Structure 1
Amino acid sequence: MNLSVALSESAAKFKGKTAYHFLDKTATYEELNTAVNQFASGLNQLGIQKGDHIALLLGNSPHFIISLYGALRAGVTVIPINPLYTPDEISYIVNNGDVKAIVLLDILVPLVEKMNQYSPLVEQYIVCETNDERAQGVDLTLDKLKTFSALLSLGSADYQGPELLDDDVAVILYTSGTTGKPKGAMLTHNNLYSNARDISSYLQISEEDCVITVLPMFHVFCLSISLNAPLISGATILIFPQFSPKEVFALAKQHQATVFAGVPTMYNFLYQYPDGDVESFANIRLCISGGSSMPVALLENFEKKFHVIVSEGYGLSEASPVTCFNPLDRSRKAGSIGCSIMNVENKVVNELGEELPPGDVGELVVRGPNVMKGYYKEPEETAAVLKDGWLHTGDLARRDQDGYFYIVDRMKDLVIVGGYNVYPREIEEVLYSHPDIVEAAVVGVPDPDYGESVLAFVVAKDEHLNEAAVIDYCHHHLAKYKLPRKVEFLEELPKNTTGKILRRSLKKQVQQS
C-alpha cells in the first residue's frame, strides 16, 4: 500500500464527498483523484519518468496536493521547498537534489532566469496560475515553461501509473540545516504511508472530520498530519493559504472544523488574539501540537480558555515525522510528548546506546517503518544517525514509569554552566509562566568564569518589565546556576515559516554583537 493507492481507494469510497475547501473553491474526492491522474500523465508527456525528481515551490493550495499526489502516482520523487527561500537556498536544493522539473507559483517566475543559470539539469518549469496582480505580464511563452492547467489538459483522467515499490523513494525533505548545508532525508512510499496510516488510527481521524490545514504543506508536520492522514481517511481538509488567527476562528466556525494542528507559536497567537471566539472551536474534538515543545503554562491556559484538550506529539523529518503522541484513550500529561505510536519504538539511551531507566536523561532513538532510508548522497551522515536499525534524533529526553516521554532539550542547545547541565527549555517554562511575558527563548553564551552562562530573550506585554524583575522571578523557581545572567527584550522572536522559534538565529545575533 502507498499514498497514491490510498487516495484512489478514498476516491472510490467517498466519491462525492468534499476532499478540500480552499478560499471559494471545493473539490470532491473523485475530482481530486482525476486531477492527480491528469497531472501524473502530464508529467509523462513532458518526459518526466519514474525515478526522476521534481521540486514543489508552492504554498498551501490545491496545486500542492495535486502535484504531490500526481508525482507520487507517476513514481516521481518529490522535493518540497519553502517558497520563501532565497534563490541561493533554492538553487542548492535543486542542484543537490538532481531536480528535473519545478512546479512553482507564477509570482516566482522571475526567479526562473536566475535559477536557470545555476540549475542546468532543470528541463521544465510548471507554472501554477493565480489571480495575483503581481503575476500579471509573466511571459509564459519562454522556453521550458508550461502552465499547470496546460499540463492537466495534456494528461489522461484514466492514467495507470507504474508499479510502486515500498522501498522506492517518494519524497526527499531537506532539513533546516542547523549546521552546514541542509541534508535531504529520503522517505520511501512505505515510510510516508505507514506514518499517515498509524497517525490516522492513533488519533481516530475519519470521514467525519474536518481538519484545519494551516501549517505549511512543504513541512513534514503538515504533510503527514494535516494532509496525508486526513486524505487516506476520507476526511475534509480546510486549506489556509497562511496563518491568521482571525481566519482560523472564522472558518473553523463556518465549516464546523473538528481537528486543529499547529506549532506552539500558533497556539500563543490564538490565545492572545483579543477577538478569539471560544464558540468558534465548539466542534473541535482534538488539538495537536508539535514542531517544538509547548510551554506548559501556554498549554494549560489555552485548554482552559477554549475548553479543548491539546495533545502534544513528537516527530522529525527523518521519521516521516511522528514517533510519539499523547494518547486519546487515557490521560494526557502536560509537558509530555506522549507514548510511542503503534508500530514505532522510542527509547532513551546513553552514549554507548544502552537503554536508560525511567527518569534518566539521554538521547531519544527511534525505530519503525517510518524511519527514513537515509540522506540523499550523504552516506557518512546517514551512518552517523542510523545505527543498528535505530535513528538517533539528537534530542535529549527522559521516560517516566508509565511510558510517557519528555523532551528535555536539543543536545546541541545544552548549556553547561560551571560543569552543571542547564536545559534551556526548563528556564523557558518558568519565563512563560510569568503573566507579563508573551514569548521567551534561552541560549548559552561564553562566560570567562563559568564556561557558559544563560542569556534570555523575552517579548513582554508590559513595557515596564525590566531585567532585574525577570531574574528575580526566575530566582523563585530555579537554582542559582540556572538563572539568566542577562535578559534582552525584543519586539518579536525570530521564527521559521512554521512559527518555530529559531534559537540559532538568536545565537548568531549574540555572536555578531
Structure 2
Amino acid sequence: MNLVSKLEETAKAKPDRIAYIFGEQTETYGGLQQKIDCFAGGLRELGVEKGDHVALLLGNTPHFVISFFGTLKAGAVAIPINPAYTPSEIGYMLTNGDAKVIVADGRLLPLYEKMHESLPMVGHVVFCETGGPLYEPEDPHVKVKLKSFATVMKPAAAQSFPELKEDDTAAILYTSGTTGQPKGAMLTHQNLFSNANDTAGYLTMNEADLVVAALPMFHVFCLTVCMNAPLMNGAAILIIPKFSPAKVFELVKKHKATIFAGVPTMYNYLYQHEAADEHGFGSIRLCISGGAAMPVALLKKFEETFNVLVLEGYGLSEASPVTCFNPFSTGRKPGSIGTDILNVKNKVVNELGEELPAGQVGELIVKGPNVMKGYYKMPEETAHTIRDGWLYTGDLAKRDEDGYFYIVDRKKDMIIVGGYNVYPREVEEVLYRHPEVAEAVVIGVPDPNTGEAVQCYVVPKKKTLTEEDILSHCTQHLAKYKRPSSIIFLEEIPKNSTGKILRRALKDILANT
C-alpha cells in the first residue's frame, strides 16, 4: 500500500465524502481523484517518466494537493519548495534536485524569466492561476516551456501508470540548511505512507474529522500530519492559504474544524490574539504541536484559555517526520515529546552510540519504516547520519523511567559557560513564566572569561518591562552560570516560513548592535 493506492481506495469506496475545503470551494474524494488522474496523465504527456523529478513551488492551495499526488501517481519524485525562498535558494534546490518539471504559482513567472537560462535541465514549467492574469514573459524562449495548470489538467486518453514500489523515492524534502547548503532527504513511498498511516492511527483521525492545514504544505509537518494522514483515513482538510489568528478563528468556527496542528509560535499568536477565548476553538477536539519545543507555561495557558488538549510530538524531515507523540488518551506529560509511535523506535545514546540510562542527556536516534533512504547526491552525509539503520537526529534528549522522551536542545545550540552545559530551552522555559514576556529565545555568544555567555532576546507584552525585571526573575529560578548576561528587546523575533526561530538572524542582530 502507498499514498496513491490508499487515496484511490477511499475515493472508490466513498466518492461523495468531502476531501478538502478551500475558501468557497468544496471538493469530494471522487472529484479530487479525478483531478489527480488528469494531472498525472498530463505529466506523462509532457514526457515525465518514472523517477523524473517534479518541483512544486506552491503555497497552500488545492493545486498543491493535486500536483503532489499527481506527481506520485505518474511515478515521478515530488520536490516541494518554499515559493518565498530567494532566487539563489530556489535555484540551488532546482539544480541540485535535477528538476525536470516545475509546478509553480503564477506570480513566480517574473522570477522564472530571470532564472530560466540557468535551468537548462527544466523541460516544462506549469504555472497555476492563483489570482489575476498570468504574467507574460518578454523573452520568447521562455514561452516555449510554459504550460498552464488547466492545460495540463485536460482529460486525456486512458493511460497506464508505472508500478510504485515501496523503496522507490516518492519525495525529496530539503532541510532548512541551518549549516551549509540544504540537504535533500529522499523519502520513499513506504516512508511517507507508513508515517501518515501510523500518525493518523495514533491521533485517532477518522472520517468525522476536519483538519486545519494552516502550516505550509511544502513543509513535512503539514505534508504528513495535515494532508497525508487525514486523506489516508477519509477525513477532510481545511486549507488555509496563510496563517492568521483571526482567519483561523473565523474558519474553525465556520466549518467546525476538529483538529489543529501548529508550531509553538502559532499557538503563542493565537493565545495573545484579542479573540482568544474558549469559544475560539469550540469545535476543536485536539491540538498538535511540533517543529520546536513548546514552553510548558504557554501550553498550560493555551489549554486553560481554549479548554482543549495540546499534544506535543517530535519529528524531522529525515523521518517523514513523526517519531514520537504524547498519548492521546491517558498519560500525557507536559514538556515531553511523548513516547514511540507505532512501528518507530527512539533511544538516547552517548558519543559511542551506546544507549544511556533514564535521566541522562545524549543524542536522540530513531529507527523505523519512516526513516529516509538517504540524502540526494550526498553519500558521505548519509553515512554520517544513518548508522546501522539508526537515524542520528542531532538533537539532545533524555528519557524518563516511563519511556517518555524530552528534547533538551539542538546539539549545536548548546551553550558552554565556564565548562558547564547550558541548554537554551531550560532558560527559555523560565523566561516564558514571566507574565510580561510574549516571546523569548536564548543563544550563546563569545565571552572572554567563560568561553560563552547566555544572550537573551525578549519580545515584551508591555514597553514598561525592563532588563532588570528579567534578570531579577532569572535570578530566582536559574543557577548563576545559566543566567543571561544581558537582554535585548525586540518587536519581533525572526522566524522562517514555518514559525521556527532563526538563531543565525539573532546573531546578525547582535553583531550590528
* Map of 1:338 onto structure 2: 338
| Correspondence list, 1:24-423, <5 A | 24-132=24-132, 135=134, 142-153=143-154, 155-156=156-157, 159-423=159-423
Deviation at 1:280, TM superposition (A): 3.3
Paired AA for residue 90 in structure 2: I
Q: Tell me, what secondary structure is at the counterpart of 1:33? A: helix
Alpha carbon RMSD of aligned pairs, Å? Answer: 1.3
- Write out per-residue CA displacement over residues 271-321 of structure 1, whole angstroms, 9 at most, x where no aligned residue: 000122422312211100000000000000000000011000000000000
Deviation at 1:143, TM superposition (A): 1.0
| Contact residue 37 and residue 155 of structure 1 kept, 8 A | no
Q: Tell me, what secondary structure is at the counterpart of 2:180? A: coil
- Write out per-residue CA displacement over residues 173-213 of structure 1, whole angstroms, 9 at most, x where no aligned residue: 00010111000000000000000000011001011100001
| Correspondence list, 1:492-503, <5 A | 492-503=492-503
CA–CA distance in 2 between the matches of 1:330 and 1:264? Answer: 22
Deviation at 1:155, TM superposition (A): 3.5
Paired AA for residue 428 in structure 1: E
Paired AA for residue 69 in structure 2: Y
- Of the structure 1 ranges 294-303 and 273-282, higher mean CA displacement relative to structure 2 is found in 273-282
CA–CA distance in 2 between the matches of 1:282 and 1:275? Answer: 13
CA–CA distance in 2 between the matches of 1:355 and 1:289? Answer: 27
Paired AA for residue 185 in structure 2: A
Taking every aligned residue pair, what percent have the same amino acid on both sides? Answer: 59
| Contact residue 72 and residue 78 of structure 2 kept, 8 A | yes
Paired AA for residue 35 in structure 1: K
| Contact residue 276 and residue 306 of structure 2 kept, 8 A | no
CA–CA distance in 1 between the matches of 2:198 and 2:176? Answer: 25
Q: Tell me, what secondary structure is at the counterpart of 1:153? A: coil
What is the number of residues matched between the two proteins? 511
Deviation at 1:478, TM superposition (A): 0.3
CA–CA distance in 2 between the matches of 1:483 and 1:143? Answer: 61
Deviation at 1:333, TM superposition (A): 0.6
* Map of 1:472 onto structure 2: 472
Q: TM-score, normalised by structure 1?
A: 0.98
| Contact residue 249 and residue 277 of structure 1 kept, 8 A | no
- Write out per-residue CA displacement over residues 132-191 of structure 1, whole angstroms, 9 at most, x where no aligned residue: 46x5656798110000000011545x5442100100000000001011100000000000
Q: Tell me, what secondary structure is at the counterpart of 1:464? A: coil
CA–CA distance in 2 between the matches of 1:198 and 1:207? Answer: 16
| Contact residue 19 and residue 236 of structure 1 kept, 8 A | yes
CA–CA distance in 1 between the matches of 2:251 and 2:499? Answer: 20
CA–CA distance in 1 between the matches of 2:30 and 2:446? Answer: 59
Paired AA for residue 376 in structure 1: Y
Q: Please list every run of 5 or more consecutive structure 1 residues that lacks an aligned counterpart in the other structure.
A: none
Paired AA for residue 163 in structure 1: E
CA–CA distance in 2 between the matches of 1:41 and 1:137? Answer: 26
- Write out per-residue CA displacement over residues 446-504 of structure 1, whole angstroms, 9 at most, x where no aligned residue: 00000000000000012121111111100000000000001000000000101111112
